Structure 1
Amino acid sequence: MTAAVEWFTGERMGTRWTVKFARPADASPTPALPALRAAVERELDLVIAQMSVWDADSDLSRFNRAPAGHWQTLPEPLFEVLDCALDLAARSAGAYDPTVAPLVRLWGFGAGQPRDERPQRPPPRAEAIAEARARMGWQRLQLDRERRALRQPGGIELDLSSIAKGHAVDRVVACLAALGIRDALVDIGGELRASGQRPDGQPWRIAIEPPDLTFDAELPPRVLALREQAVATSGDSWHVFECDGRRYGHTLDPRSGWPLAHRLAAVTVLHASCMRADALATWLAVLGADAGLALAERLGIAALFVERDERGGSERFSSAMAPLLDAA
């Protein structure tokens, strides 16, 4: 008899998370459901305690408040995430920048303020955008890898929202594996990672829902068969507002200080690491479909781009993504 897929869900990090899993076929002992849930929640609470911009007592928030010249020793998970973020910032020439917090807050999407959900509101003044950008700059950060410490140059504020959720997914997968659960699908707010397979021997399958498009355009959901892979999506279907007929989304271009102005509605990335898939999706979203697709081809990234156009919407995907779509 084929084992059943078990699951449990909850809320953390401002979103809903779900774990689906199958117990070992050889009946190896594994924790009961309440113990598994408690272990997952401990992992998520650890990420919040270290990387949350909403928790004033998190390691990240304390660094953001630190005076110029202060060296802060980082716990290993936060160091790992920040090291990855700074690597991508350097490789992207600032298209991806973890010091974007002042800009995110200015546009009404940040922590420490009531989120402005008005569907219509004016954008910030150009002078305010320039002032926020002057307080940014990943190049100003000094990371001592030997001591695992980060220097606050003065006024820098980190925001790891574009990578921390993916890291949390990776941590939960590793936690489950350590408890004997190696066949699992973990979803935290739409960032997912699959390990092992379903009880029937089939891969874990997920549906990528198309983003909101213009007119009455409809694109069918894409189904992906995940084999030891993670998937993350960046788009403008959430936390948006309009002014004078223009749509402003929460994904910002650190190089200009403005929300994305191109036609890209969403980009989905597959990678072995959900942390990297999460950050890469943001980087590619900032670049847009043309430059993003060129980069994905150059680096061998599996990526699916959805654009708004005169017909409503269309898809483009990298060579590495094509066989994965076909296989599903």
Structure 2
Amino acid sequence: MNNNAQKNIIYSIILLLLVVIVYLYRQNKEGSEDLGAITTDAVGRMVIDGQTMGTSYRVVYLDPEGRNFKPAVDSLLLVFNQSLSTYISDSEISRFNQSDSLVFELPFFLPVLESSKEVFELTNGAFDPTVGPVVNLWGFGPGGPQLKDSVNINAILPRIGFEKITFDQQQVRKQVPGMYLDFSAIAKGYGVDVVAEYLESKGIENFLVEIGGELVARGLNDKGELWKVGINKPEEMGSASELYSVVALDNKGMATSGNYRNYYEVDGLKISHTIDPKTGRPVRHGLLSATVLAEDCMTADAIATALMVMGTEKAIALQESLRSFEIFLIFNDASGELNSFSSEGLKPYLSFIHE
């Protein structure tokens, strides 16, 4: 058995033990509080939902036994956040940001570092979890909207760059003091994968997991069809709930990133929350939304973020060169008209609502 296989087995055992421990703690603390799911039909279609990572989650799964996995999923996500949430002061990532190194205690930090490094290299740095301080500097943090001058940005840029983060199987280290890691552009996708892996460990073959719009589908729905999910029309062009297209997910992870939801204007200049890690400045291009389908949601989430930095043409070029994921882009073309692009592998699974 190779080291990776041994590591995966150990992580799985640790994960299940953590779920049991936290579940027992919550049961003892909450007593008889109703944590139930609902069964909607005779085939064992179960629906559970809740709150996590500052957003909501929803899981639909088919289980003839009608088992309620909500307590376990809530416990699992609680432990997940204790590793990767920057909003928890004593989480692993918060403790790392306050120091120069961290020895891993939970089984989540290392996999997200490994995936981040892979996507960072694939996208030539367009995806970079160290860019958070510049994002905050531009006013997309607690301080609110505010333009910054070049002096402030240039002072922070030396602390930006994922290549300055080193790690092995036991710990992660900073090569430059004052660096800050933020996995908000990949953590929801990873959380979806973690929940999906838990369901699979329980013998569930047909399910759809969603956290804050990031998804993983496995198998078929209760009608015997592929799970279908919508891609929202950019809000600038319509209401937030209006769909642009629908995708049938064939055992894939899917994530969407967009510029149209988080921006502000100063003197008619639109400031996007998508910051180019290399320049430290907001991107300025016509790409409004990037949806990525990949084998896992963590990869899809990170690549979707990178494509929003790269813009339409570079995003298409990257997909066509790698062919390891599929994309659906919504953008303003040269004439300012709303347009879209779908990669060839996605087209059989895509249906349009927008005309």
| TM-score interval for Structure 1 and Structure 2 normalised by the shorter chain | 0.7 to 0.9
User: Could you tell me which residue of structure 2 aligns to residue 313 of structure 1?
Assistant: 338
CA contact (8 A) 1:51 1:58 kept: yes
Which aligned pairs between 1:156-175 and structure 2 lie closer than 5 A?
Answer: 156-175=179-198
CA distance in 1, matches of 2:185, 2:292: 13
CA distance in 1, matches of 2:185, 2:245: 23
Note the alpha carbon deviations across 1:151-196, whole angstroms, 9 max, x for none: 1221111011111110000011111222232211111000011111
CA distance in 1, matches of 2:306, 2:287: 12
Residue 48 (str. 1) matches residue 81 (str. 2): yes
CA distance in 1, matches of 2:283, 2:260: 12
Aligned with 1:162: secondary structure? coil
CA contact (8 A) 1:19 1:186 kept: yes
Which aligned pairs between 1:79-228 and structure 2 lie closer than 5 A?
Answer: 79-110=110-141, 113=142, 116=144, 121-145=145-169, 148-153=170-175, 154-213=177-236, 221-228=244-251
Q: 2:252 aligns with which of 212, 229, 240?
A: 229
Which aligned pairs between 1:50-69 and structure 2 lie closer than 5 A?
Answer: 50-67=83-100
CA distance in 1, matches of 2:184, 2:94: 13
Which aligned pairs between 1:257-272 and structure 2 lie closer than 5 A?
Answer: 257-272=280-295
Which aligned pairs between 1:244-323 and structure 2 lie closer than 5 A?
Answer: 244-300=267-323, 301-309=325-333, 310-323=335-348
CA distance in 2, matches of 1:158, 1:271: 24
CA contact (8 A) 1:296 1:303 kept: yes
Closer/same/farther in 2, CA of residues 270 and 66 from structure 1, 3 Å limit: same
Closer/same/farther in 2, CA of residues 247 and 74 from structure 1, 3 Å limit: farther
Q: Shift of residue 79 of structure 1?
A: 0.1
Q: Shift of residue 320 of structure 1?
A: 2.2
CA contact (8 A) 2:253 2:300 kept: yes
**AA partner of residue 43 (structure 1):** L
CA contact (8 A) 2:102 2:172 kept: yes
CA contact (8 A) 1:2 1:199 kept: no
Closer/same/farther in 2, CA of residues 244 and 312 from structure 1, 3 Å limit: farther
CA distance in 2, matches of 1:41, 1:238: 28
CA contact (8 A) 1:74 1:149 kept: no
CA contact (8 A) 1:96 1:282 kept: yes
Closer/same/farther in 2, CA of residues 209 and 326 from structure 1, 3 Å limit: closer
Aligned-residue RMSD, C-alpha: 2.3
Q: What's the TM-score once normalised by structure 2's chain length?
A: 0.81
Aligned with 1:132: secondary structure? helix
Q: Shift of residue 132 of structure 1?
A: 2.0
Higher relative contact order (CA 8 A, sep 6+): 1
CA distance in 2, matches of 1:74, 1:124: 38
Q: Shift of residue 48 of structure 1?
A: 0.9
Note the alpha carbon deviations across 1:275-295, whole angstroms, 9 max, x for none: 000001011111111011010
CA distance in 2, matches of 1:80, 1:8: 26
**AA partner of residue 349 (structure 2):** L
- Structure 1 runs (4+) greater than 4 angstroms displaced: none
Note the alpha carbon deviations across 1:189-223, whole angstroms, 9 max, x for none: 0001111111221111111111123599xx96211
CA distance in 1, matches of 2:166, 2:140: 27
CA contact (8 A) 1:170 1:274 kept: yes
CA distance in 1, matches of 2:135, 2:296: 25
Residue 12 (str. 1) matches residue 36 (str. 2): no
Q: What's the TM-score once normalised by structure 1's chain length?
A: 0.87
CA distance in 1, matches of 2:319, 2:138: 29
- Structure 1: gaps (5+ residues): none
CA contact (8 A) 1:102 1:133 kept: no
CA distance in 2, matches of 1:267, 1:170: 20
Aligned with 1:160: secondary structure? coil
CA distance in 1, matches of 2:183, 2:148: 23
CA contact (8 A) 2:46 2:66 kept: no
Identical aligned residues as a percent: 33
Which aligned pairs between 1:24-43 and structure 2 lie closer than 5 A?
Answer: 24=64, 29=65, 31=67, 33=68, 36-43=69-76
**Matched length:** 309
CA distance in 2, matches of 1:152, 1:215: 44
- Structure 2: gaps (5+ residues): 1-40
CA distance in 2, matches of 1:323, 1:272: 17
